[in-house]
Structure formats: C-alpha cells, structure tokens
C-alpha cells in the first residue's frame, strides 16, 4: 500500500468511508499501527498526559512534540501523520503558529498539523493553509483551554459549535476533530460540513474516530476509571505487570537466565 495523501483523504467522506485515527508517540508503536492499517497517526499533545504523566497538556513543548513526531513519521509507511501544535503557539497569533508548524514540518516531515480552536483561530488556520501547511481543526472540548473552562465537560452549545466548525472549514482545514460533544449535535455538525469530522466522545455519526493509544490498550499505571467515550480493547496494565513480576520472580529464584538464554 502507498502513502495516504490529502487528495485521497478528500474522497473518504463522499464515499462514506470512515477514517480511523489513533494517537501514537514512538517508533515501534507507530510501526504496529501503520502495519495494522490505521489511516491517520496523531502525535497529540496528550503526550503530556499519557507519556509524561502530567495532569494537563499545557507543559508539552515544541521540542518534545518534534522529538516524538520525528519517530512516528519515520515509522509511517502508509499512514497520514498529523502533529499537534502545542500551547501557546496558536494562542500567540498567526506568525508564531506558522513558525511552530514550519519547524514541525522541516524537522519531522509530518503531513499536517492540528490546532485547537474555532472562530477565534480562523485567521491562524488560513495563514497556515496559505503557507502550504494542511490543518486539522479541533472544536468542542479544547484541553489547552482547561484553565479557562475549569474541567473536561461535554459540549452542548449548539450555535457556538456550529459557528466554530463553519469558521474552521471556511478557513481551509481539511477535517475537524469534535471532542466530547452530544451525539445528536455531532451528527448535525457532520451533516453541516463538507470536510470530515473525527469524533472523540462525539458519538457514532462522525466521519471518523480518534482514540488515545494508551486508553485503547489499557496502558496505564493505576487502576483508574475508563472514561465513557473510551472502549478499552486490551489490558496492557495487567499484561505488563504480570510479565515484569514473572521476570522479577525468575531472577530472584535464579530461574532466569537459564542455559537457553546463556552463551
């Protein structure tokens, strides 16, 4: 299979073909996802939460996202790779956003960038597109605004959402993530737009779905509650814990290394 391009992606919505997206942050995981036929790999700033163990995405730096994105792009032979512009480059305005995205492009060879925001980021999206940088929008719940909003809530404000997604589409984004939006609202939003909607906690009627790699696989350090929007397809926490406990037992009991692992 050849590399997925933007022009091919543009045929998906008219053909009713769902887009499958997963976040990923390192080379071996990205190789596995690419081999499994995942359409888009997103190097999200959820990096801060699931890799760095922080409570928000706000501290992720441009250098850090570039470090991880370079590995993912190198691993992706087929998948389209999107990289988050971390806080606060888009908040600083179009020039800073283009500067940050240009560094992402030059240093990783990613296919596109993602930025959070609606009408308030329309001019920034337009500037990026004008610079030849494809943009994935991100409306609804916006984790970079957590300090302003005070929490992760389901979005129910119909007019505001529609205003935002139309502005993102009109500014030239090729698709938009809808995060934590009531199912019916997300269905209406999907029907309203020509560009695909990629849902996370936005019900089944979006044109595609995205999940965080660690959530999908149950790759977490503690027994925490799985959010309603996540379907956990594996239990890596148990698999990893059992494997390393077995290893520790074997070392302590002089079972490992046996002669079969010795020279």
User: Contact 176/136 with Cβ under 8 angstroms?
Assistant: yes
Q: Which of 179, 182, 188, 260 is catalytic?
A: 179
Question: Buried b vs exposed e over 102-120: b needs ≥16 C-beta within 10 Å?
Answer: ebbbeebebbbbbbbbbbe
User: Contact 19/196 with Cβ under 8 angstroms?
Assistant: yes
Least CB distance from residue 23 to ligand KIV, whole Å?
4
Nearest Cα residue to 179 out of 159, 152, 160:
152
Angstrom CA distances, 206 to 20, 24, 148, 177, 203, stand at 11, 21, 27, 9, 7
Least CB distance from residue 215 to ligand KIV, whole Å?
9
Nearer to ligand KIV, 27 or 256 (CB): 27
CA distance 6 to 228: 31
The reply to whether 179 belongs to the active site is yes
CA distance 40 to 79: 5
Nearer to ligand KIV, 50 or 102 (CB): 50
Nearer to ligand KIV, 24 or 249 (CB): 24
Least CB distance from residue 187 to ligand KIV, whole Å?
19
CA distance 178 to 70: 26
Least CB distance from residue 66 to ligand KIV, whole Å?
15
CA distance 47 to 86: 10
Nearest Cα residue to 21 out of 116, 148, 136, 120:
136
Q: Is residue 92 classed as helix, strand or coil in its secondary structure?
A: coil
Residues that bind ligand KIV (CB under 6 A): 23, 42, 44-46, 84, 138, 177, 200, 210, 212
Least CB distance from residue 93 to ligand KIV, whole Å?
21
Nearer to ligand KIV, 58 or 129 (CB): 58
Residue 28 CB neighbour total at 10 angstroms? 10
Nearer to ligand KIV, 34 or 84 (CB): 84
What are the catalytic residues? Answer: 179
């Amino acid at each position: 299979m050849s590399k997925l391009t933007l022009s091919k992606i543009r045929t998906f919505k008219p053909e009713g073909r769902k887009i499958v997206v997963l976040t990923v942050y390192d080379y071996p995981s990205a190789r596995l996802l690419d081999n499994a036929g995942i359409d888009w790999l997103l190097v999200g700033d959820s990096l801060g939460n699931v890799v760095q163990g922080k409570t928000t995405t706000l501290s992720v730096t441009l250098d850090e996202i570039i470090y991880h994105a370079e590995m993912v792009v190198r691993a992706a032979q087929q998948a389209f790779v999107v990289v988050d512009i971390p806080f606060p480059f888009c908040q600083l305005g179009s020039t800073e956003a283009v500067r940050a995205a240009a560094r992402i492009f030059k240093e990783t060879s990613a296919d596109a960038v993602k930025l959070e925001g609606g009408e308030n980021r329309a001019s920034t999206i337009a500037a990026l597109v004008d610079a030849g940088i494809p943009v994935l929008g991100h409306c609804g719940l916006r984790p970079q605004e957590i300090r302003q909003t005070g929490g992760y809530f389901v979005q129910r404000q119909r007019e505001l959402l529609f205003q935002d997604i139309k502005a993102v589409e009109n500014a030239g984004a090729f698709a938009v993530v809808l995060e934590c939006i009531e199912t019916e609202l997300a269905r209406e939003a999907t029907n309203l737009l020509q560009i695909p909607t990629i849902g996370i906690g936005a019900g089944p009627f979006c044109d595609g779905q995205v999940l965080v790699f660690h959530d999908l696989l149950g790759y977490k350090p503690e027994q925490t509650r799985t959010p309603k929007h996540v379907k956990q397809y594996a239990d890596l926490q148990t698999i990893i814990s059992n494997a390393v406990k077995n290893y520790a037992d074997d070392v302590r009991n002089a079972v490992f290394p046996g002669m079969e692992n010795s020279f």
